[in-house]
Amino acid sequence: MMTTKRRMNVSGQFKIQQMAFMLMAVIVFFVLAGLFYLMLKSTGLNKGFTELQQEKSEALALSIAETPEMSCGGVVDGGKQGCIDTDRLITIKNSKAYQELLPVSSIIIRKVYPEIRETKECESNNYPECNQYTIKENNKGYDSGEATSYVNLCRRVIDDQYVKNKCELGVIIIKI
Amino acid sequence: MIIEKEIRKIKERNKRVELDKAWETSMTRKITITIMTYLVMVIFFYYAGLPKPWINSIVPAIAFILSTLTIPLFKNKWMKRKRMNIKGQEEIVGFIVIVVIVMIIGMVVLGISLRKTTTVETSKKYDNYLSAMMGYTTDCTSSNGIKEYNVEEILKECLNKRTCSDGKESCEVLNKTISEMLRATNPISEESITSSYKFRAMYIMNTTENTGEEIMTIEVGECKGISQGTSKSTSSIPGIIRIELEICGK
């Protein structure tokens, strides 16, 4: 009788042990699955953050292009978005006051179409036969990223006694 | 006394076996394994980057539930054959057939899941790009020679099959300008980050519809990565001109 009881106890203990192991395995499994899910989520968040920063920088580049000193401001096609007046760029290019006003370390505006093979910095003596306007360049500062935005580079041309607007394709590149 | 002991032993064993059998067929076991199968598949789908993991994982979970059903019709047939003492070889053939069927179904499901999705992500960058493209002044001048058309305006001229003041077809100028602009700003080569691009302009009479008269389409390269794009509409009474741009990376 005693032996049977003892054998039953051992068997019961064995079952409890089995159950405990099973529960532990299930818990470990769910913990691992949870960790894996969190890891995936945080990766997605990081990606989202980077994209948001990039979008913010691009919006800043566009807002700089739309400052009154640069933008076409109603002169070309009713002041459309992302339009830079290159006649104005030539005049503000060497303005120290304007350079200090802008909260970025570098601003370069480059013509991308029609293409000119080599980079020609625009100055009053070669304008408009050039393709780059360096408004501000500070290589000493901390560079935390670059952002670009496509813009129209417009100027006025006199053709057969008519004043016409000529717009080309360009990019504004800023370094924050 | 010994016989009594033996009988008790057998009874105990029977009880244990019955319990095991009860667990094997219990609803708790089925539900637990179904949930675990579902969760494991969700994790796998996430890890493999497959679409809609929460929905697609239902399939294997349901497959498991189906596997636990007795299916009386097949069970009776199987028992009848078993009673007739059919050779074991046939059993093996049957098993192999089932394995092959399951493998084929699995491969089909995997193939469908892995099929590349052709969704296009909208991009602010390309939104600005398309707007800047539309503002570009072309070589096409109005018949009176006063106005030089930009891309947006020449699209309307092309739609109406008009010619420029120098006699060139407006559609020809439009095609050349857009092609060169896309090529200059999105070069496709071994070193470049772009694998393909597509530009499409169409005239839509009824704005509730998504199809219309095609004005022009330029498609270069083969998409090998994530496609980003944008669209823009411009009025051309009585309808609209819809311009779509897709640029695919590597």
pLDDT, mean of residues B194-210: 84
pLDDT beyond 80 at A170: yes
Hey, where are the domains in chain A? 1-176
Please provide residue B242's backbone torsions phi and psi, each rounded to the nearest 5 degrees: -105, 125
The rounded distance, in Å, linking the Cα atoms of A126 and A103 is 29
| Strand pairing report for A106-113 and A162-175 | antiparallel
> What confidence score (pLDDT) does residue A79 get?
52
Distance (Å) from the C-alpha of residue B85 to the closest C-alpha of chain A? 38
* B22-80 pLDDT, tens digit each: 888 888 888 899 899 999 998 888 888 787 888 888 888 888 888 877 677 778 877 87
Q: Is 80 exceeded by the pLDDT of residue B111?
A: no
pLDDT at A17: 82
Please list every residue in chain A whose beta carbon sits closer than 8 Å to the beta carbon of residue B145: 160, 162
Rounded CA gap, B244 and B229, in Å? Answer: 8
Segment A24-74, tens digit of pLDDT: 888 888 898 889 888 888 888 887 888 888 888 888 888 888 888 888 876
Q: Minimal Cα–Cα distance from B66 to chain A, Å?
A: 24
Predicted pLDDT at A55? 81
Lowest mean pLDDT among A122-136, B39-53, B65-79, B173-187: B65-79
Does pLDDT of A160 surpass 90?
no
Q: What is the mean pLDDT of residues A144-153?
A: 85
Q: Which residues contact B157 (CB under 8 A, 6 or more apart)?
A: B140, B149, B164, B170, B174
| pLDDT tens per residue, range A2-26 | 555 566 667 778 778 877 887 888 8
Please tell me the predicted confidence (pLDDT) of residue B138.
92
Lowest average pLDDT, out of B3-12, B78-87, B150-159, B175-184, goes to B78-87
Q: What is the pLDDT of residue A132?
A: 93
Q: Which pLDDT tens digit goes with each residue over B88-100?
A: 666 677 778 888 8
pLDDT at residue number B243: 92
Q: Which residues of B touch A (CB under 8 A)?
A: 8, 36, 39-40, 43, 46-47, 124-125, 128-129, 131-133, 135-137, 145-148, 150, 180-181, 184-185
pLDDT at B103: 81
Give the CA distances from residue A91 to residues A70, A122, A123, A135, A150, in Å, rounded to whole numbers and listed in that order: 10, 11, 9, 10, 22
The predicted pLDDT at position B100 comes to 85
Asked if residue A140 lies in contact with residue B108, where contact means CB atoms within 8 angstroms, the answer is no
Does the pLDDT at position B21 exceed 80?
A: yes
CA distance A77 to chain B (A): 9
Q: How far apart are CA B40 and CA A33, in angstroms?
A: 8
Instruction: Indicate which of B130, B137, B185 best probes the interface with A, i.e. most A CBs within 10 Å of its own CB.
Output: B137
Instruction: Give me the residue from A36, A59, A169 closest to B136, CB to CB.
Output: A169
Give residue B225's pLDDT.
80
Note the pLDDT of residue A144. 62
Contacts of A36 in chain B (CB under 8 A): 43, 46-47
Q: Which pLDDT does position A59 carry in this prediction?
A: 84
Beta strand ranges found along A56-131 (DSSP E): 83-85, 106-113
Higher pLDDT, B23 or A138: B23
Task: Give the nearest partner residue to B136 out of A33, A36, A152, using CB atoms.
Answer: A152
CB nearest B135 (choices: A40, A55, A83):
A83
- Which chain B positions have a beta carbon within 8 Å of A152's beta carbon? 132, 135-136
Neighbours of B158 (CB within 10 A): 23
Predicted confidence at residue A105, as pLDDT, reads: 86
Would you state the pLDDT for residue B89?
66
> Which residues of chain A does B181 touch, with a Cβ-Cβ cutoff of 8 Å?
113, 169
Choice among A143-152, B75-84, B107-116, B167-176 with the minimum mean pLDDT: B107-116
Percentage of chain A lying above the pLDDT 70 cut: 88
* pLDDT, tens digit (0-9, with 9 covering 90-100), for B114-168: 665 556 677 788 888 999 999 999 989 888 878 889 999 999 999 988 999 888 9
pLDDT at B169: 92
pLDDT category at B222 given cuts 50, 70, 90 is confident
pLDDT, mean of residues A101-118: 87
Nearest Cα residue in chain A from B187: A112
Q: Kindly report, residue by residue over A69-94, the tens digit of the pLDDT.
A: 888 876 665 457 788 999 888 888 88
Q: What mean pLDDT value characterizes chain B?
A: 84
At B172, list the tokens.
């020809």
- Annotate B65-97 with DSSP letters as a single string: HHHH---HHHHHHHHHHHHTT--HHHHHHHHHH
Q: Which residue of A has its CA nearest to B137?
A: A167
